[in-house]
Amino acid sequence: MLILVRHGESTGNADGLLLGRIDAPLTQRGLTQAKAVGPSVAGATRLISSPLARARDTAEALGTGLPVEIDDRWIEVDYGEFDGRPLGLVPDEVWTRWRSDPDYRPPGGESLCEAGSRVRSACEDLFATDGEGARGPGAVVVVSHVSPIKAATCWALGLGDQGAWRLYLATGSVTRISWGAEGPVLSRFNETPWSEPG
């Protein structure tokens, strides 16, 4: 079982920014989300994280007791010159290009196809593992970001990279991919094992 955890809310998420490689820290809400996810990943045999602090801090907050392995393939998409901009200030023509052309690369950034390729490679490596791996009796937890988790979901469903635009993924959410007789199977998507304070 591959358990994909989107990092908890970061300051960039809370401020409505397009957040790629900028290393925004978790908010208190994000830390609370991460801790609430912990019981959902109990019994995991490996814990892998994106190198960005918001993912690493989420991984630690899960409380698994496992060492955190860093895999750069799970880093967020590089939005280039648009990284860190308020979502509403990204030009409409850029959103149109992104949605219509998965090979579109913003200046200084990477395309959805490039990101999808590295994520598929990471998924295939994990599912190729026998024994204590994604295909074995234990679960591998990967703490990552919205775009890589969407790319992994599209991989599991056999969709192209543009399928990501039809998926919504909350911060602090859990997505599960298992291995079926003929390949990956999406078991659950966008679980949120936390609730807002009432």
Q: Could you say which of 9, 76, 110, 145 is catalytic?
A: 76
What kind and span of H or E run contains 45? strand 44-49
Q: In which residue are the tokens 């024994």 written?
A: 131
Q: Name the residue type at position 86.
A: P
Instruction: Judge whether 124 counts as a catalytic residue.
Output: no
Instruction: Judge whether 76 counts as a catalytic residue.
Output: yes
Cα gap 17→189, rounded to integer Å:
24
Q: Could you say which of 7, 9, 110, 145 is catalytic?
A: 7
Q: In which residue are the tokens 């908010």 written?
A: 27
Q: In which residue are the tokens 């809370």 written?
A: 14
Given a contact cutoff of 8 angstroms between Cβ atoms, the answer to whether 114 and 164 are in contact is no
Distances in Å between the Cα of 170 and the Cα atoms of 1, 41, 106, 191, 192 are 21, 17, 24, 8, 8
Q: Active-site residues: which are they?
A: 7, 76
